[in-house]
Structure 1
Amino acid sequence: MRIALLEDEHEQAQNVQSILSERGHHCDSFPTGQAFLSAVLHRSYELLILDWQIPDMTGLDVLRTVRAQLNWPIPVVFLTQRDSESDIVAALDAGADDYLAKPPRAAELGARINALARRSNPDAEKEILNYGPFEINTQQRTISLHGEELTLTDKDFDLTLFLFQNQGRLLTREMLLERVWGLARDINTRTVDTHMSRLRRRLGLNPENGFRIKTIYQRGYRLEAMKGPDAVPDSIHTDQAANE
């Protein structure tokens, strides 16, 4: 899991990063609210950890900005020395998902992060994902439309899966390069535009099939459902035979 940490004390940041790294997570640390927000709003993070007292603004202000500007419910954990009931209530009311006091106990921090990860992405370990007329088999790496398997490259599959798993979320070109291609953010983003244009045609992403890829000017792309209940995951199941 990719995690962004807001922490202005260097030793505290190193401690949290070490705990998370030992559990297989990647954690970037930022000492100010502005640096943190700049990264979070333009990169691909899956969970945020916030300190309350930082030099340029409060963690609560950062949280409110994140909730106002990100169009998906990214999990947020407060990790702070402030542990009064009123502070905890204020953070949770502002949109935090969990609240821990410093210094964190390694096992507890890891367990809470894992619990939030499971709740935020319950489909991560599912084999079959159905989105309206689209069926994605994550084990066989195939995608079908109205029961007919589509001819796609491996990269087409990775990009399509990432789009559907982040339906409704603005995905910047840099974010897509990082998460789908594994490339640095300073690589030419033309690669993303070319693949996205081709994917629109190959997948039949149009109102008739319930989805469209919307281009967000100078930012990136967003997969949008075009109609009601048929455009969201309507049945997600695991191959039972594999478990027998």
Structure 2
Amino acid sequence: MRIAVLDNDRSQADLVCQVLSAAGHSCQFFDSGKEMLAQMRKDSTDLLIMDWPAGDPEAADTLRRAKEKMAPDAPAMFLVSGSAEDDIVAGMAAGADDYLVKPLRRGELVARVSALLRRAYPAQTGTEQLQFGSYVFETRPGRLLKDGSVIDVTQKEFYLALLFFRNIGRPLSRAYIHEAVWVRETAVPSRTMDTHVSRVRNKLSLRPENGFRLVPVYSYGYRLEKLGAQ
């Protein structure tokens, strides 16, 4: 699904896009309402997520204008501070379908977005498959298969593996991996990440004979390499 993210906080927008991209969606970031509305005249948007700055008088107008450019059933969600009750009321009155309280939690974000999309597009939100060689990721249930057989992985192992496969050949820093997979868990020991990477490598048999190799990048992070034709 195509998701527009409007937020002038780039770090928060990057977080939203990383989480939803890992869940199989296509995200486009905007830091101004004017730019987003102009793009909406050209391309369709399945869902809008926008930050709602406390006391911003233009937020409601931006949301209403965006909804006018989207399909009638296309949902909108806004992000708001927990104490900003007036902003929550204003956002829902302006046409939003749901909201999330900051700071964001990855699991809740994915669950709320999935629920909105299921209601809006019941015929289009079945299992989505992403295939890389003999590996198939079913993003909606979070299931991983190799050669048709299910691999038993935890949720974090699933998202970690998908992150590597969506970035084949690209070195990923430890900081980037941490933010994409562990998100708001600030106290994650280095060995925890290494353990998860090792489990992904072993469970998926990411070895040269299977066409892929997951390797450490010294003093930086990890890289998944594709070897030969698949």
Normalising by structure 2, report the TM-score.
0.50
Normalising by structure 1, report the TM-score.
0.47
